[in-house]
């Protein structure tokens, strides 16, 4: 046997904390406050304050493995929790502020949260369920609106001021839990996913690659995606690793505020769900003068499929590139990125089609799709099946060992996404398994119909769902939100998409609504549409 081997050096977030201080101390952190002013700090300050937080939590009795929850917007204090809490051995648990108080109480108790760090601006919502958190010991209040911390709580800044700025991280197992995130829970109770130190650091390393999200010290990143959603797609950790200047939007997620922030802070990479970018595209299209976003290198879009018309609209009308990505809470979260391979470039239409897919797997993530019997399907770009994934930052179980049926015996995670995969490995999501339309034995892709409908100039948003049918069991129905002052009817919309689909796939009915219901993470909530309009075809029969 050959002698000599590599050091047994653990991959932990404590290293990222050390790195922001020793290597990237000059890098700026910008946080937008509720009053729209901006706080400017540095990574050196981030390092010191995260160290103080780690020491303060230890002093408060927080031990390794304890859950420290956050209930906060995207800002520097939230980033301090991302680094300081795991570095001292505890687990940072991000609570989704868009959920109902009942769901939040369930999640906080399921996670057994001991401490909560909460923004004062969110106190009215937090106060609705804090009394239900059974084992809550301490509440630290970030006074983002300037008022005093409520009685019985601790002032976050005062707690940090009383703690030592010198922190010596304990020896940590790289496989120990670092972060706890919960799924959106559209069916049943939300489920927890524990991210280990190792998986989080590996994810940051790969996500930073040029053909993945691709951040470097030359970039300025704007995580529009909330820090309470799948660790803001890992972007804060990638920034800490690479020394990327980071700009936080705080509570101001409207298109005008985001465009202003991107232009003034010279953002190069921004990331968010399609609904965010749809609003920004509409704003840019309507702007009387061209907004200078020449600084933006790419906009990462994930969370749900972005229509090709939106990708093309940004490119042709505004010179802005969209990069499609796919992932889930269970994949920590990055799984695939839609980069166009060099040998596939040259034809604009084909390149757009590839950019509108979910892309191919990033390194160390493996993908396959299977039929209802678990048989692996051919990568021919045609046959549809459920996407399964595996890799070093993909969950192997849920917190508390719930949902065992989502994990196969041979080590794959069943995503619930119905997809096609082509010979190049490009994944195209055609539906969620629970939303797929099965009409007379044929599968119909609601996503493809939605993307086609949203290419109509009058359509702002489209959601296609399965409605009951007396003969075909299910048929597609389209829910349409029109752009302001725009007009369209069922016939004009169907004619617009008719050339792209076989007759059996065209929607039987179109309903015009003011707003499409969404989940807490911005995805279309089709179960609500089915509740409201699921009998529309039966009633008309």
Return the pLDDT at 524.
81
Q: Is residue 222 scored above 60 in pLDDT?
A: yes
Candidates 321, 408, 438, 495; catalytic one: 438
Active site residue 183: yes
Q: Is residue 441 scored above 80 in pLDDT?
A: no
Mean pLDDT of 201-209: 97
Residue 371 banded pLDDT, cuts 50, 70, 90: very high
Q: Is residue 1 scored above 70 in pLDDT?
A: no
Return the pLDDT at 155.
98
Return the pLDDT at 4.
83
Active site residue 45: no
Return the pLDDT at 333.
92
Q: Is residue 100 scored above 70 in pLDDT?
A: yes
Q: Which two tokens stand for residue 379?
A: 């990568």
Residues 115 and 70: their CA atoms lie apart, in Å, by: 8
Candidates 443, 468, 490, 509; catalytic one: 443
Residue among 419, 417, 503, 431 nearest 466 (CA): 431
Return the pLDDT at 283.
95
Residues 465 and 444: their CA atoms lie apart, in Å, by: 10
Enumerate the H helices of 322-445 as residue ranges. 348-355
Active site residue 443: yes
Residue among 226, 244, 253 nearest 36 (CA): 253
The mean-pLDDT minimum among 150-164, 304-318, 384-398 falls in 304-318
Residues 528 and 404: their CA atoms lie apart, in Å, by: 27
Q: Is residue 202 scored above 60 in pLDDT?
A: yes
Active site residue 330: yes
Return the pLDDT at 186.
52
Candidates 32, 183, 329, 430; catalytic one: 183
Residues 163 and 155: their CA atoms lie apart, in Å, by: 13
Percent of the chain clearing pLDDT 90 (strictly above): 80
Average pLDDT of every residue of the chain: 93
Residue 45 banded pLDDT, cuts 50, 70, 90: very high
Residue 185 banded pLDDT, cuts 50, 70, 90: low
Return the pLDDT at 402.
85
Q: Is residue 478 scored above 60 in pLDDT?
A: yes
Return the pLDDT at 365.
98
**What are the backbone dihedrals phi and psi of residue 75, each rounded to the nearest 5 degrees, phi first?**
-160, 180
Return the pLDDT at 306.
83
Mean pLDDT of 408-424: 94
Candidates 48, 80, 174, 330; catalytic one: 330
């Amino acid at each position: 046997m050959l002698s000599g081997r590599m050091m047994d050096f653990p991959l932990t977030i404590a290293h990222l904390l050390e790195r922001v201080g020793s290597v990237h101390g000059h890098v700026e952190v910008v946080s937008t406050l509720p009053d729209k002013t901006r706080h400017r700090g540095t990574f050196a300050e981030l390092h010191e304050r995260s160290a103080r937080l780690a020491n303060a939590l230890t002093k408060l009795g927080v031990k390794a493995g304890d859950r420290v929850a956050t209930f906060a917007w995207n800002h520097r204090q939230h980033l301090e929790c991302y680094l300081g809490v795991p570095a001292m051995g505890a687990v940072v648990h991000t609570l989704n502020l868009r959920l109902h108080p009942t769901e939040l109480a369930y999640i906080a108790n399921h996670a057994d949260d001991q401490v909560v760090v909460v923004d004062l601006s969110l106190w009215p919502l937090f106060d609705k369920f804090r009394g239900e958190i059974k084992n809550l010991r301490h509440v630290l209040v970030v006074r983002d609106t300037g008022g005093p911390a409520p009685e019985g709580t601790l002032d976050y800044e005062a707690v940090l001021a009383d703690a030592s700025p010198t922190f010596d991280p304990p020896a940590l197992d790289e496989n120990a839990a670092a972060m706890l995130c919960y799924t959106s829970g559209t069916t049943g109770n939300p489920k927890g996913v524990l991210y280990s130190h190792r998986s989080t650091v590996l994810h940051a390393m790969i996500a930073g690659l040029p053909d993945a999200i691709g951040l470097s010290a030359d970039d300025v990143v704007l995580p529009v995606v909330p820090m309470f959603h799948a660790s803001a797609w890992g972007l804060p950790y990638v920034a800490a690793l690479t020394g990327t200047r980071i700009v936080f939007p705080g509570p101001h997620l409207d298109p005008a505020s985001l465009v202003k922030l991107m232009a003034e802070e010279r953002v190069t990479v921004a990331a968010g769900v399609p609904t965010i970018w749809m609003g920004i595209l509409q704003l840019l299209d309507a702007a009387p003068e061209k907004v200078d976003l020449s600084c933006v290198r790419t906009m990462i879009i994930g969370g749900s499929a972005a229509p090709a018309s939106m990708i093309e609209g940004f490119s042709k009308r505004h010179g802005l590139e969209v990069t499609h990505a796919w992932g889930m809470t269970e994949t920590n979260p990055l799984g695939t990125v839609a980069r166009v391979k060099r040998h596939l470039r040259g034809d604009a239409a084909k390149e757009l089609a590839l950019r509108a897919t979910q892309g191919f797997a990033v390194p160390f993530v493996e993908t396959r799709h299977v039929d209802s019997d678990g048989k692996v399907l051919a990568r021919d770009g045609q046959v549809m099946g459920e996407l399964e994934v595996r890799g070093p930052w993909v969950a192997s179980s849920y917190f508390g060992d719930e949902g065992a049926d989502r994990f196969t015996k041979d080590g794959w995670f069943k995503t619930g996404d119905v997809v096609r995969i082509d010979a190049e490995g490009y994944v195209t999501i055609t539906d969620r398994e629970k939303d797929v339309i099965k009409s007379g034995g044929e599968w119909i892709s609601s996503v493809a119909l939605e993307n086609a409908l949203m290419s109509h100039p009058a359509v702002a948003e489209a959601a296609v769902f399965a409605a009951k049918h007396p003969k075909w069991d299910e048929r597609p129905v389209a829910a349409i939100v029109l752009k302001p002052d725009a007009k369209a009817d069922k016939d004009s919309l169907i004619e617009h998409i008719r050339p792209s689909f076989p007759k059996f796939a065209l929607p039987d009915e179109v309903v015009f609504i003011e707003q499409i219901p969404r989940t807490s993470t911005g995805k279309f909530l089709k179960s609500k549409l089915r509740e409201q309009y699921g009998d529309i075809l039966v009633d008309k029969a």
